[in-house]
């Protein structure tokens, strides 16, 4: 988390001189205090008079522990972001963890990254519970970045957008099982003083609201092709500054490869493998948010070390969707979310590369290593340990695909090319993973 959100007090220069005051980005103090029905008595959050992040036994936020967990997952969020922006052209699997129709083995989504930040920053605090998360000021910074990632993705893939889908969970105003469309009301957000609600169609572009982001230079007569090129160059600069594939480990694309890569030639490409853990589970498999930690090698005996262990690959976070509320669809929501499957993906390449620094990551080298060393542990946000077999619907598998690093392309902003790696077809590897109860 950035420094301005971590300190409870700030110094402000005023006409009367320097003043020390409460930091409005550190927490929000409730007025009136939490009470039913907004904060059910059964909720652990009802005892706090202000929002908290990773609270200790005395209810004090622990931003240093939040940052340790975020730091341990820096490579995860960077690689997930780059993979999504560079290789996922379809809005539905890009956008959410629950989409199944054409996801294939691409389990990554912007919602998964969104849930990870919520769960890690919350860890028992308000950000980790959907109904209460927006009370924490950092919620708005987090969601501004999610909006930014969506806007970047839209600039690269302008022709794909939301389609009609069944809303399994429902909302306070939409019954579970209803169909969301482009014109479904986005309550409670009004588009005018007459009470008209915004819809997905009316909020498709940030330009409608008069703003943009630094990576999206969409003014001055820039056309869609130029915009896409500039944004791709910025994505390379931000999330892939040295190239996604180590040049020490690249091998020339073989002339006898059985599959081809679009828009490339053998003279201009080099290839290597990228690997991922795919996770599928019931979103409400446990009654609280929880983590699935992945390690190379046996994790430490003490579970308290797991979230930041030296051999941690990354953590998959599950943001539990529902707490009891007084809305009209509460009973149906509770029933439906019990059976809601969610999908996630953990990139492995950043953890494998140091073990094989100058060798192509071919399956014959990587799979024996993963079979011997890949381990996982399930842990609730309160630190308690859960057997993987008790997480309903949990499936863990390893997939991979070849990537062609393509030379050339316009330099764009930042001095890096505007071309992304070209990825080959997904391959599922048997013998590494876990399959529990359906």
- Fill in the DSSP letter of residue 213: -
How far apart (Å, rounded) are the C-alpha atoms in residues 234 and 22? 37
Strand 269-282 to strand 290-296: parallel, antiparallel, or no bridges (unpaired)? unpaired
Task: Count CB-CB contacts under 10 A for residue 121.
Answer: 26
- Report how far apart, in Å, the C-alpha atoms of 280 and of each of 90, 152, 330 are: 20, 27, 25
Site of tokens 């590494």: 432
Helix axes 74-87, 138-156, angle to 10 degrees: 30
Task: Count CB-CB contacts under 10 A for residue 237.
Answer: 16
Element (H, E) at 11: strand 9-14
Question: Average pLDDT for residues 147-153, to the nearest whole number?
Answer: 98
Digit-coded pLDDT (tens) for 263-288: 544 444 568 899 999 999 998 889 88
Element (H, E) at 376: strand 374-380
Contact between 320 and 97 under an 8 Å Cβ cutoff? The reply is: no
pTM of the model as a whole? 0.89
Q: Which two tokens stand for residue 152?
A: 């970047």
Digit-coded pLDDT (tens) for 176-219: 889 999 999 999 999 999 999 999 999 999 999 999 999 999 88
Digit-coded pLDDT (tens) for 67-77: 999 999 999 99
Please give the full DSSP string across 154-195, using - where no structure is assigned. Answer: HHHSTT-----EEESS--SSS-TTEEE-TTS--TT-BSSTT-
How far apart (Å, rounded) are the C-alpha atoms in residues 29 and 7? 15
Site of tokens 């995860």: 76
Burial profile 85-111: b = 16 or more Cβ within 10 angstroms, e = fewer: bbbbeebbbbbbbbbeeebebbbbbbb
Digit-coded pLDDT (tens) for 155-182: 999 999 998 888 887 888 889 889 999 9
Res. 243: pLDDT tops 90: no
């Amino acid at each position: 988390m950035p420094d301005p959100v971590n300190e409870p007090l700030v110094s402000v220069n005023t006409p009367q001189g320097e003043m020390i005051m409460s930091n409005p980005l550190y927490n929000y103090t409730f007025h009136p205090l939490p009470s039913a029905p907004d904060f059910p008595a059964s909720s652990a959050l009802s005892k706090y008079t202000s929002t908290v992040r990773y609270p200790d036994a005395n209810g004090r936020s622990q931003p240093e522990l939040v940052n340790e967990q975020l730091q341990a997952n820096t490579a995860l969020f960077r690689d997930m972001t780059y993979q999504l922006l560079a290789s996922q052209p379809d809005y539905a699997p890009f956008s959410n963890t629950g989409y199944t129709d054409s996801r294939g083995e691409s389990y990554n989504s912007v919602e998964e990254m969104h849930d990870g930040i919520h769960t890690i920053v919350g860890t028992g605090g308000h950000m980790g519970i959907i109904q209460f998360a927006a009370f924490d000021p950092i919620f708005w910074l987090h969601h501004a970045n999610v909006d930014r990632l969506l806007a970047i993705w839209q600039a690269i893939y302008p022709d794909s957008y939301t389609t009609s889908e069944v809303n399994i969970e429902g909302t306070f105003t939409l019954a579970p099982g209803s169909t969301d469309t482009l014109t479904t009301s986005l309550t409670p957000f009004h588009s005018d003083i007459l009470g008209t609600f915004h819809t997905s169609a009316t909020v498709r572009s940030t330009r409608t609201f008069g703003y943009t982001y630094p990576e999206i230079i969409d003014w001055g007569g820039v056309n869609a092709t130029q915009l896409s090129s500039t944004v791709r160059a910025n994505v390379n600069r931000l999330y892939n500054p040295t190239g996604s594939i180590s040049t020490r480990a690249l091998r020339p694309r073989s002339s006898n490869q059985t599959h081809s890569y679009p828009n490339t030639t053998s003279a201009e490409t080099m290839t290597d493998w990228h690997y991922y853990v795919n996770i599928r589970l019931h979103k409400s498999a446990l009654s609280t948010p929880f983590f699935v930690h992945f390690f190379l090698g046996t994790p430490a005996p003490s579970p308290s070390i797991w979230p930041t262990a030296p051999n941690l690959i990354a953590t998959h976070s599950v943001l539990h969707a529902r707490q009891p509320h007084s809305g009209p669809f509460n009973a149906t929501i509770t029933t439906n979310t019990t059976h809601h499957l969610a999908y996630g993906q953990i990139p492995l390449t950043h953890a494998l590369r140091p073990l094989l620094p100058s060798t192509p990551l071919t399956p014959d080298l990587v799979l024996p290593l993963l079979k011997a060393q890949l381990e996982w542990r399930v842990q609730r946000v309160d630190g308690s340990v859960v057997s993987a077999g008790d997480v309903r619907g949990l499936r863990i598998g390893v997939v991979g695909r070849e990537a062609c690093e393509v030379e050339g392309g316009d330099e764009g902003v930042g001095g890096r090319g505007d071309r992304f790696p070209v990825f080959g077809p997904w391959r599922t590897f048997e013998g590494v993973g876990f399959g529990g109860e359906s």
